[in-house]
Amino acid sequence: MIVALSEEQKRAAAVGLLVIPALLLVWLGLQLLLAHSAHHDRMAHLLAERAHDRALIKKAPIWNTQRETLRTLSARTPLFFETAQPATATARMQNDVVGAIASDHVTLLRNEVELEADNTRQRTELRMLLSFNADIATVTRVLFHLRQARPLLFVQAFELHALPKPTAAAPLPGPNILQAELTLVGVVQVP
């Protein structure tokens, strides 16, 4: 059985046969454009990574120098107090802290060291209570010097208090003087 198509049906079939390949070509063109765009984005990302890696490689000698400097500092001075005698560690801690603070011309109001054994952690801690009066810039310098101390000292507590208002007869202690109270902790490592 042969079906005869009218002229309108023939034209519609011809247009359909032309539109389907055209749509297919448009779809393929879009896919190529999307793939090209994704490739372009990936290349831009890889070029940025390469530039970043080259910058890191250029800085590697500087980092190696800094790492070696830190290693030599660590090798020269231990990170913990190493002694079998607690009195020796206590005296060393007091000398180190007083030396660090003396460089900032600060007079200590309180300087007490306690020895605390922690059997659960198998270590002994030295706990030093400090109190001194200084302005905020001096307190910052003191903290900086304590941070650089070897063996390591950890600030467990830190408080700043405003000094009470002086009476009319008493002179002012200085501009913006605060009372700083610190609790420092050092770890004693028994050899």
Domain encompassing residue 40: 8-76
Examine the domain organization and report whether 125 and 97 are in the same domain.
yes
Examine the domain organization and report whether 162 and 89 are in the same domain.
yes
Report the CATH number at residue 121: 3.30.70.60
* Nearest-angstrom CA–CA distance, 73 and 60: 20
Examine the domain organization and report whether 57 and 126 are in the same domain.
no
Averages of pLDDT over runs of 10 residues in the chain (191 residues) are 78 84 90 92 94 91 84 68 72 81 82 75 80 88 83 85 70 73 82 58
Query: Does the global pTM surpass 0.95?
Result: no
Cα→Cα distances 170→166, 173, 177, 178, 187, Å:
6, 9, 15, 17, 42
Please indicate, yes or no, if residue 104 is contained in any of the structural domains: yes
- Six token digits for residue 4: 């005869």
Give the pLDDT score at 39: 93
- Six token digits for residue 141: 């310098």
- Six token digits for residue 31: 């896919």
Cα→Cα distances 110→95, 135, 136, Å:
14, 17, 18
Could you tell me which residues come within 8 angstroms of residue 148 by beta carbon, excluding any fewer than 6 positions away? 100
- Six token digits for residue 28: 């393929």
* Nearest-angstrom CA–CA distance, 117 and 14: 96
Please indicate, yes or no, if residue 1 is contained in any of the structural domains: no
Q: Are 178 and 134 spatial neighbours (Cβ–Cβ below 8 Å)?
A: yes
* Nearest-angstrom CA–CA distance, 177 and 56: 45
What total of structural domains would you count in the chain? 2
Give the pLDDT score at 78: 67
- Out of 56, 76, 96, pick the residue that ends a domain: 76
Please indicate, yes or no, if residue 90 is contained in any of the structural domains: yes
Closest CA to 75 of 84, 67, 86: 67
